Amino acid sequence: MESVAVFAGLHPNPGHHNSLIGPSRTPINLLPPSIDRNHFSPLPLKLQKLSHFTSYIDNSAINSGNTFRVASPLSNVTSELADIDWDNLGFGFMPTDYMYIMKCAQGENFSKGELQRFGNIELCPSAGILNYGQGLFEGLKAYRKHDGNILLFRPEENATRLMMGAERMCMPSPSVEQFVEAVKATVLANERWIPPPGKGSLYIRPLLMGSGAVLGLAPAPEYTFLIYVSPVGNYFKEGLAPINLVVETEMHRATPGGTGGVKTIGNYAAVLKAQSAAKAKGYSDVLYLDSFQKRYLEEVSSCNVFIVKGNLIVTPAIKGTILPGITRKSIIDVAINQGFQVEERQVSVDELLDADEVFCTGTAVVVSPVGSITHQGRRVTYGNDGVGLVSQQLYSALTSLQMGLSEDKMGWIVELK
C-alpha cells in the first residue's frame, strides 16, 4: 500500500518522490523510516481543530519503509495533536516524528539536508564527539498561536552563535540560511507535537558534532548537523515561581581562555557535580563565580543572571567565560525599551546580596525569578518570597512577544504560515 505523510508547510518536489520543498523553496530529502519501535510510538492521536494545517502520518508509513509523499497543506482541514497530557508537560525529552540531518567533510561546506524518521543514530566508537568532545548544541523554541500559525524566536541569532562556537571548536558549520531553513523544516514536520497555545512550547535542539572517526587528537574528518525537537513545559518544577540558588566557591564553570563563551557540550558536563550536590541540599541550581578572584558573578549552570537595584538592572559582561545568551540579549533590549537603566559589567557577590531582585534568563527558563541566594552559609531572600515586580514585568513582556500576544516591534519573530 502506498504510504502518505502530510506536513504543514512542506510541499511535493515535482519529479522527486523522496524529497520535499521546504519553507524557502529549497529541496529537502526525506529518508525512509529508520526507527527503534521500542523507543518511539507515534500513536494514538487526538483530533483537535486548531488550524488550517494538518500533520497526519499514516501508520503504514512507519512500518513499510516506503517512500513518503507529501500532500499540499493549503486545504482547510483539522490539525491533529499528539495524544499527550498537555496540561502536565514537564521539561523532559519526548520522542517526536522527524529529525533533520546534514553532513559534510572537514574543509567542505554543508549541503543536502535530510528529514528522516526520529530514531537512534550510528556513530563509530572513534568519533570525535565521543572521544574528544568536539560538539556544540543550540536551543530555541517554537510556539503555536491561537490562529494555528507557528512562531520562532530569533533563530538567526542561534545560527550566528553556532557559527562562532564552531570556529572555536575547529568545526565547519551551516550558514545562517541553512540553519534557519533546517529549523523551519523540522518544526513543520513535527507540527502535531507543538503544544496548544499557553500549554508550553516545542523545544528545538540543533546539534553540531564531529562524527568522523579519529584516534589521535585532531579535528574529526566528518561532521554532522542534526536537529530534533520535543514538546516541553517549565524548565524548573517551580514554574514562574522563585528558585533558590547557592553560590559555588570551589568549582568553576569556565576559565579565561577556555570555552565558557561558546555552547560546547563539555561546559555542561562540568557543572553536573556541583549542581547535583546543590539539588541534594534542596537548592534549585548553582551560581558560579569567576575562577580568578572568586568574587564576581558569572552565570548559573545553564542561565545568565541579572540583579535589580531600583531602576538599575545589571548583568555580568560577556568576556569569554560567559555564554552570550539570546534571551539575555533580548531582555536587555526589552528592559531598555521599558525605561530601565541597564549595565553590563562586573557584578560582585556583595552587590548580589544587596540587590532588590535577582532573576535568571535562558531559552529553557525564559525569565526565572530568584527567591533566595545562599553564600557561604548566609541566606538572603528577595521579593518577600514572591515573584519580583521587575522579573514579572520582563517575563510578561518577552513571553507575550514570543507567543504572538503582543506586537513584534523588534522584528524578532519568524512566523510559519
CA distance linking residue 416 with residue 66, whole number of Å:
28
The Cα 189–Cα 333 span in angstroms is 32
**Residue 244 and residue 374 in contact, taking contact as beta carbons nearer than 8 Å:** yes
Q: Is the dihedral of CA 234, 153, 155, 122 positive or negative?
A: positive
Half-sphere exposure of 10 (CA within 13 A, CB side): 31
Where helices occur in 141-296 by DSSP H, the ranges are 155-168, 176-189, 266-269, 272-280
C-alpha cell at 305: 543572571
Cell numbers 537548592: residue: 283
Give the whole-angstrom CA distance, residue 408 versus residue 91. Answer: 27
CB 327 within 8 A of CB 333: no
The span from the CA of 393 to the CA of 176, in Å, is 32
Residue 245's SS3 state is: strand
- Retrieve residue 92's grid coordinates: 523532559
Residues in CB range of 407: below 8 A, 6 or more apart: none
**Beta-bridge partner residues of 136:** 208, 264
- Report the distance separating Cα 77 and Cα 54, nearest Å: 6
**Which residue in 263, 279, 409, 417 is the catalytic one?**
263
409 is catalytic: no
d(CA 403, CA 166): 30
DSSP letter for 244, please: E
Catalytic residue IDs: 263
